[in-house]
Structure 1
Amino acid sequence: MDAGDSWRLLLLIICLGLSGFFSASETAFVALPRARLMHLVRSGRPGAGRVSHIIQRPERFLATVLLGNNLVNTAAAALATVLAIKLIDNESLSVLVATFGVTTFLLLFGETVPKNVAWRRSEKVAFTVSRPIRLVERTLSPLVTLLQVFSSASNRLLGISTVTPQMGEEEIRTMIAAGAQTGTVEAGEAELLEKVFRFGDRQMREIMTPRPEIVWIGLGSTLAEFLPIYSENTHTRFPVYDGTMENVVGVLSVKDVLSAMRGLEKDAGGQVTGYIRPAFFVPETKSVSETFNEMRAGGHSVVLTVDEFGGIAGLATLKQMMEVIVGQMGEEGAAPEEPVTPLGEGVFLMDAGLAISDINEELGLGIPEGDYQTVAGFILDRLGSIPEVGDVMEFDDLRITIKIMEGVRIEQVELRRMNSNAGPVEADQ
């Protein structure tokens, strides 16, 4: 082997190295999590802006990598062929050896090994190669631009959009779930984030206090009439109606009554409903998040929901909306009431007014959703009649027993899982 062959061998090794460099660069930038890169840019990590600049122009980056990779692979094949011909007298055998040898080395050291490393160390590799990639892009700029123009024209001809798709809600939720499984996101944090997303999916009718449970104040009520109602119900706001409960004229705040207490005590006939505030109405199908934003913007603390026929369907407060995210909150100085009480393995005592979606999530059940929103609605839909205390309804592996009735309204039920193979389900404590 003469000096020329030594140089050719050295160039061949360099070409193999460059092939691995381009392959690793392509994989590293593709595998680098966009959310992680965004965090690094915001935190000011050196080089993050350069990496972000490359990723934001994927067509130019891919054109640079593919062009560079093909150039060095072609050069490697040519150099290997020349070396083989000079070292092996049989020309056919030399071409075969060169082809097989280059293919093997390119596959191993130009593709497989560097891509595996880049995939597992995408962040480190991307930051390391970002500066050389920018240098190659500038060096090959005319060819890269030509290739980019041809690629864009081909995309338009094939009707392929060049707009990079934005990360959607489902992708973010999947990332959070994956983070919780791998331990990079704490289980409590993942649960809270999931509830934040569900905050926008829930409708007002799923979280409102239903109409039969609303405590009303009649227009013209005096302080003497109001105080017994307030003492029995620790609410802070009461809807005020005129004539019928469909005609809501406003909302009475206990805070306003207390502020006017001295004047009302002096005037025996003084009406507390003289201090009502305007009522805020929304359809019961409106999302919780939209209603929450409108209430904050309008300074409302309570909202009345309206059904499709224009009747009052229920009432909700800002506190009830926040409970969608943070869970049940008790009154000041008192622990929150647990809507689900474990009685034993697979046995629970629960409020029949709980939303089906909440019960399914909390206990891992599969109760189907329908034209009803609550456990009581599900029972009525399945039975087709008004139950009595002690009545039992079975569905799949569930046995539901009516425990408390308030007139025709189901107040409390006992739920029992009959299938032991399903495993015990534990309510959140």
Structure 2
Amino acid sequence: MPPDIWQTAWQTWAPWQIAALVCGLLAAAALLSAIRLTLARASRPDPESSEGQTGVRRALPLRARVLGALFVGNILLNTAAAVIAATALIAILSEQGFASAAGVAIGVVSLAAVLAEALARLAARAGCVERVFGLVGLRLENYAQKLSFREEIRGRLDLLDQDGDVPNTERQMLGGLLDLGEMTVFDVMIHRTKMRTIDAELPVQEVVREVLASPYTRLPVFRGTPDNIIGVLHAKDLFRAIEGRRERARIDIEAVASPPWFVPDTTSLRDQLSAFLAKKQHFALVVDEYGDLMGLVTLEDILEEIVGEIGDEHDVAARGVRPQADGSLLVDGSVPVRDLNRMMGWALPDEEATTVAGLVIHEAQAIPEAGQAFTFHGFRFEVLRRMRNRIVALRVSRLPASDPVEPVTRPRAA
């Protein structure tokens, strides 16, 4: 473009007007940047509410589009400021050549844009945008509630899962890691009725046989009643104590066992995992608010919530889930709902009940008799065996997708 055209463009505006326009564009770009940074840190819908559960999925893509639009607007404003400043400086420095004038203009505007971005970040961190919005009666917190970074990751994970971009194994591992703060040791503990324990009054030979017959290396030691735990016996400590001794019968099992570690059943898995790592222990006994023994939890139990079942050559093979030829499952009532979901890829709710039997009792609002069947959550649950007040075995069948399933709050007997 000839120099006289640049000169004509320059003469149309006064120098202070050009400077004010460039500063105004840079200020507008900084404002958009501050709004973008503020929205990036702003709160989103509460996932605990019914609206928040779907709101997370709606808010994330909408928020991404808004942030993208603000980012593009910021770039356009900075570009416009650079072009206008270059036009003005070219008119002034035309005698030094187009390249020199344009280079100086772009360099000056780029430096100003960097300073504006830095000021925008400071303004966003100081809450200046919220204060400005508040002056006109607009408050960001009126539109959403706080959403932690874990809940935002979960929302993004759900979106990626819908697109099929996350392998099922990795999705379960990430989901299990995020669930650690929401679950308690009560949800994953081994119930006291299934604990393998050692009587401190047994002869040493009997204790050795019990330890060798157990798939576990750590066993609680009780005295008098199984609820009176006085220690935890490690197999290595036992064999180390009896090695080289002729009079093994005189070994005090209680002295060999380590002191028991009791934790409340309301402890979150995240806190318990941190406690295991801090104390360098793998084993804890779970008690309720009255101090009564509820069960035990191990480091492996928590890790299995993240990576899935961890098996070795000494683990008991039976899991309590036996597939049948007709597509149904024979399930022990004590099988955790989360384990069944993980094994079968289902989504049965586990908020109100830990085990499959507990889920049926919760939905039925009663303890069913053997032979009763219920349909809920897209499945049919038939009670096969009941022992006293416990559901021992069930048959679980997934209903065909074509069958209409009502969202029942209290299941109907089938």
Do the aligned partners of 1:280 and 1:303 also contact (CA within 8 Å) in 2?
A: yes
Quote how far apart the aligned CAs of 1:415 are.
0.5
Three-state SS of the structure 2 residue aligned to 1:260 is helix
Specify the code of the residue in structure 1 equivalent to 2:111. Answer: L
Q: Deviations over 1:146-179 (max 9, x none)?
A: x99996863574688999x996211122223334
- Distance in 2 separating the partners of 1:294 and 1:168: 23
Do the aligned partners of 1:208 and 1:320 also contact (CA within 8 Å) in 2?
A: yes
Q: Would the alpha carbon gap of residues 5 and 385 (structure 1) be closer, same or farther in structure 2, given more than 3 Å must change?
A: closer
Residue number in structure 1 paired with 2:181: 200
- Distance in 1 separating the partners of 2:130 and 2:328: 62
Residue number in structure 1 paired with 2:346: 364
Residue number in structure 2 paired with 1:154: 132
Q: Deviations over 1:301-338 (max 9, x none)?
A: 21111123321011111111111111112233668544
Which residue of the other structure, out of 291, 304, 308, is the alignment partner of 1:310?
291
Equivalent residues in 2 for 1:103-118, closer than 5 Å: none
Quote how far apart the aligned CAs of 1:277 are.
0.5
- Distance in 2 separating the partners of 1:168 and 1:140: 28
Residue number in structure 1 paired with 2:169: 188
Quote how far apart the aligned CAs of 1:287 are.
0.8
Specify the code of the residue in structure 2 equivalent to 1:384. Answer: A
316-325 or 339-348, larger mean C-alpha shift: 339-348
Residue number in structure 2 paired with 1:250: 231
Q: Deviations over 1:242-280 (max 9, x none)?
A: 223333211111121121233566333433333110111
Quote how far apart the aligned CAs of 1:300 are.
2.0
244-253 or 180-189, larger mean C-alpha shift: 180-189
Q: Deviations over 1:191-245 (max 9, x none)?
A: 3212111122211111111111112222333212213433443222221222233
Residue number in structure 1 paired with 2:411: none
Residue number in structure 2 paired with 1:394: 374
Residue number in structure 1 paired with 2:271: 290
Q: Deviations over 1:341-394 (max 9, x none)?
A: 432565122232223344456443445743x42112233442734744xx2321
Q: Deviations over 1:105-141 (max 9, x none)?
A: xxxxxxxxxxxxxxxxxxxxxxxxx988642337989
- Distance in 1 separating the partners of 2:330 and 2:112: 68
Q: Would the alpha carbon gap of residues 136 and 415 (structure 1) be closer, same or farther in structure 2, given more than 3 Å must change?
A: same
Equivalent residues in 2 for 1:42-57, closer than 5 Å: none
Q: Would the alpha carbon gap of residues 251 and 335 (structure 1) be closer, same or farther in structure 2, given more than 3 Å must change?
A: closer
**TM-score between the two structures when normalised by the length of structure 2:** 0.62
> Higher Cα Rg: structure 1 or 2?
1
- Distance in 1 separating the partners of 2:9 and 2:163: 46
Q: Would the alpha carbon gap of residues 74 and 274 (structure 1) be closer, same or farther in structure 2, given more than 3 Å must change?
A: closer
- Distance in 2 separating the partners of 1:294 and 1:194: 21
- Higher helix fraction: Structure 1 or Structure 2? 1
- Distance in 1 separating the partners of 2:167 and 2:249: 59
Specify the code of the residue in structure 2 equivalent to 1:394. Answer: F
Residue number in structure 2 paired with 1:82: none
Q: Would the alpha carbon gap of residues 264 and 373 (structure 1) be closer, same or farther in structure 2, given more than 3 Å must change?
A: farther
Three-state SS of the structure 2 residue aligned to 1:137 is helix
Q: Would the alpha carbon gap of residues 181 and 159 (structure 1) be closer, same or farther in structure 2, given more than 3 Å must change?
A: same
Q: Would the alpha carbon gap of residues 344 and 151 (structure 1) be closer, same or farther in structure 2, given more than 3 Å must change?
A: same
Q: Would the alpha carbon gap of residues 152 and 219 (structure 1) be closer, same or farther in structure 2, given more than 3 Å must change?
A: closer
Specify the code of the residue in structure 2 equivalent to 1:154. Answer: V
Specify the code of the residue in structure 1 equivalent to 2:300. Answer: K
Q: Would the alpha carbon gap of residues 270 and 380 (structure 1) be closer, same or farther in structure 2, given more than 3 Å must change?
A: same
Q: Would the alpha carbon gap of residues 383 and 175 (structure 1) be closer, same or farther in structure 2, given more than 3 Å must change?
A: closer
Q: Deviations over 1:23-45 (max 9, x none)?
A: 8x969x959x98xxxxxxxxxxx
Which residue of the other structure, out of 203, 208, 223, is the alignment partner of 1:222?
203
The number of aligned residues is 332
Quote how far apart the aligned CAs of 1:68 are.
5.9
- Distance in 2 separating the partners of 1:151 and 1:309: 51
Residue number in structure 1 paired with 2:360: 379
C-alpha RMSD over aligned residues? 5.1
Residue number in structure 2 paired with 1:41: none
Specify the code of the residue in structure 1 equivalent to 2:179. Answer: R
Which residue of the other structure, out of 102, 113, 126, is the alignment partner of 1:137?
113
1:240 equivalenced with 2:221 (yes/no): yes
Q: Would the alpha carbon gap of residues 343 and 295 (structure 1) be closer, same or farther in structure 2, given more than 3 Å must change?
A: same
- Distance in 2 separating the partners of 1:152 and 1:373: 43
Three-state SS of the structure 1 residue aligned to 2:226 is strand
**TM-score between the two structures when normalised by the length of structure 1:** 0.60
Do the aligned partners of 1:220 and 1:271 also contact (CA within 8 Å) in 2?
A: no
1:320 equivalenced with 2:301 (yes/no): yes
Do the aligned partners of 2:172 and 2:306 also contact (CA within 8 Å) in 1?
A: no
Q: Percent identity over the alignment?
A: 23
Do the aligned partners of 2:230 and 2:254 also contact (CA within 8 Å) in 1?
A: no
Do the aligned partners of 2:283 and 2:298 also contact (CA within 8 Å) in 1?
A: yes
Do the aligned partners of 2:82 and 2:109 also contact (CA within 8 Å) in 1?
A: no
